């Protein structure tokens, strides 16, 4: 029993360490993108929910099927908070989570099109898996905005 707990502890430590490293890579890269975009208070790029506010400030507008989302800087973090609050509601929580995920993918696609349009589709598809996002941000952190 003790050996099983030890193995579990090692695995837990390993994945926690990897998660922290990925978060640091993402946060520092996003901070750099924020500084280059001239956004006030770029340190906010290191705060998880506020990152969506910063993302919206960088991309400015988002159109989905011809509809422009108003007040994007409040919709992105607000939708994420709403998903967190309603995640345990059987059907609504799941639908909101999927809708929020799709909204975030559209926002990321817009960001990728602003910095590296030739790779935007590939980066968006990779972003579905979440794990590549810190490395994608690492590749675009020093690029100039094209639009």
Confidence of residue 128 (pLDDT cuts 50, 70, 90): very high
Helix (H) or strand (E) holding 64: strand 63-64
| pLDDT tens track for 29-80 | 999 999 999 999 999 999 999 999 999 999 999 999 999 999 999 999 999 9
d(CA 136, CA 111): 11
Burial of 97 (0-12, 13-18, 19+ CB in 10 A): middle
The pLDDT-based confidence of 146 (bands split at 50, 70, 90) is confident
Residues facing 64 on adjacent strands: 67
Which residue would you say has higher pLDDT here, 146 or 131? 131
Model confidence band, residue 145 (pLDDT cutoffs 50, 70, 90): confident
pLDDT of residue 111: 96
So what's the pLDDT on residue 2? 82
Query: pTM of this prediction?
Result: 0.91
- Give the three-class secondary structure for 68: strand
* Res. 147: pLDDT tops 80: no
- Condensed to tens digits (0 to 9), the pLDDT of residues 89-122 reads 999 999 999 999 999 999 999 999 999 999 999 9
pLDDT at residue number 1? 80
């Amino acid at each position: 029993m003790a050996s099983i707990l030890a193995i579990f502890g090692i695995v837990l430590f390993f994945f926690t360490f990897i998660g922290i490293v990925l978060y640091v890579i993402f946060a520092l890269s996003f901070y750099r993108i924020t500084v280059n975009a001239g956004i006030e208070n770029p340190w906010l790029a290191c705060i998880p929910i506020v990152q969506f506010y910063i993302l919206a400030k960088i991309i400015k507008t988002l159109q989905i099927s011809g509809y422009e989302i108003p007040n994007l800087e409040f919709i992105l973090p607000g939708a994420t908070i709403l998903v967190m609050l309603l995640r345990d509601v059987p059907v609504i929580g799941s639908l909101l989570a999927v809708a929020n995920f799709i909204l975030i993918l559209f926002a990321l696609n817009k960001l990728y099109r602003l910095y590296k349009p030739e790779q935007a589709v590939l980066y968006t598809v990779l972003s579905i898996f979440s794990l590549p996002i810190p490395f994608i941000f690492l590749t675009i952190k020093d690029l100039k905005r094209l639009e």
